[in-house]
Structure 1
């Protein structure tokens, strides 16, 4: 076990350690396990678990994974892939799925195996995206099970941009204040 004040709790699995960019912020009580890569200026907030034990997890740059989120992968299926500039709301669950750049996953949403959330799409708070669903670019899906609610509008896009920039700024401030500059 490796516990680093600069990178949360990191654990190897089968000899594979997480690879975390030095410009990412990983909260001290976030746990990152195994075959996980996290890009620059991404933030993994308090209480998150990212478990790349039975497959790989890849997280791009400036992606914000809010408190208590759980990310896992499938041993017999696919890994979990998150692109750049994504917001994942508090207490979300992502399992063996693909979230493309600029997407937004709401608070307590669940995205299951083999789902794809295309670039700029949104899964609303509390939504359950059942296995194999594809949320097309420019759409908002909500409900349990999730279905198309409406198209993304200019207000959504403005909020995504403001939220994304705010969380990159917060991650950088937290990293600097708690750990000093890199």
Structure 2
């Protein structure tokens, strides 16, 4: 993975985390055990720190950045959807940030909360625990029910399992030139493993 020190500060990545080779880590970044950092994610801690806690995931093309004297945090089981931007904020335990959402400076997303896709949480906003918030600026719509929180936890568990799969089996290859009948497919993986497709 592209990993850079700045001002002598070197990122820290647990050997039990997975960081995709195209993700970029700069400076005061900490990635704990079980965390997943997806393709083309950029974690740039050249002003303030970035701390990704155990079993959290930061998906494809996410951008995380901060400002001086502040640590941008994704707590345990945090789930950051594709293309989201986090800037100098705190994502509490088991919260989900929807795809392409923007979470701005000093905002605080409560435990178990879901921020809907394409939402913007304005600077210094506090979104309470166990809530669903949507829109730009994001507004709390209602409390989450147990079924929704279970759905979120199931999705995060799949990313924890993906971390393990990537550590064990992902490697760069040359593509095949012909699709043959004996080529492994995602269906063959599901048949042979406990991970089940959605739907």
What TM-score, normalized by structure 2, do the two folds share? 0.84
d(CA) in 1 for partners of 2:35, 2:97: 15
User: What residue is the counterpart of 1:35 in the other structure?
Assistant: 28
Q: Which runs of 5+ in 2 are unaligned?
A: 172-199
User: What residue is the counterpart of 1:5 in the other structure?
Assistant: none
Task: For residue 9 of structure 1, report the CA deviation from its aligned partner.
Answer: 1.2
Q: Does 1:164 align with 2:156?
A: yes
CA displacement 1:30-81 (0-9 Å, x = unmatched): 0011001011010000000000111111110000111000000012x52201
Q: Which runs of 5+ in 1 are unaligned?
A: 1-7
Relative to its length, the structure with more strand (as a share) is: 1
Task: For residue 118 of structure 1, report the CA deviation from its aligned partner.
Answer: 1.2
User: What residue is the counterpart of 2:19 in the other structure?
Assistant: 26
Alignment RMSD: 1.0
User: What residue is the counterpart of 2:175 in the other structure?
Assistant: none
d(CA) in 2 for partners of 1:83, 1:144: 24
User: What residue is the counterpart of 2:126 in the other structure?
Assistant: 134
Task: For residue 171 of structure 1, report the CA deviation from its aligned partner.
Answer: 1.2
d(CA) in 2 for partners of 1:68, 1:111: 15
Structure possessing the higher relative contact order (Cα contacts under 8 Å, 6 or more residues apart): 1
d(CA) in 2 for partners of 1:20, 1:84: 15
Residue pairs, 1:1-182, within 5 angstroms? 8-75=1-68, 78-178=70-170
Task: For residue 177 of structure 1, report the CA deviation from its aligned partner.
Answer: 0.8
Aligned residues: 171
- Paired residue secondary structure (2:132): strand
d(CA) in 2 for partners of 1:147, 1:106: 14
d(CA) in 1 for partners of 2:152, 2:113: 10
d(CA) in 2 for partners of 1:71, 1:32: 10
d(CA) in 1 for partners of 2:150, 2:130: 13
Q: Which has the larger radius of gyration?
A: 2
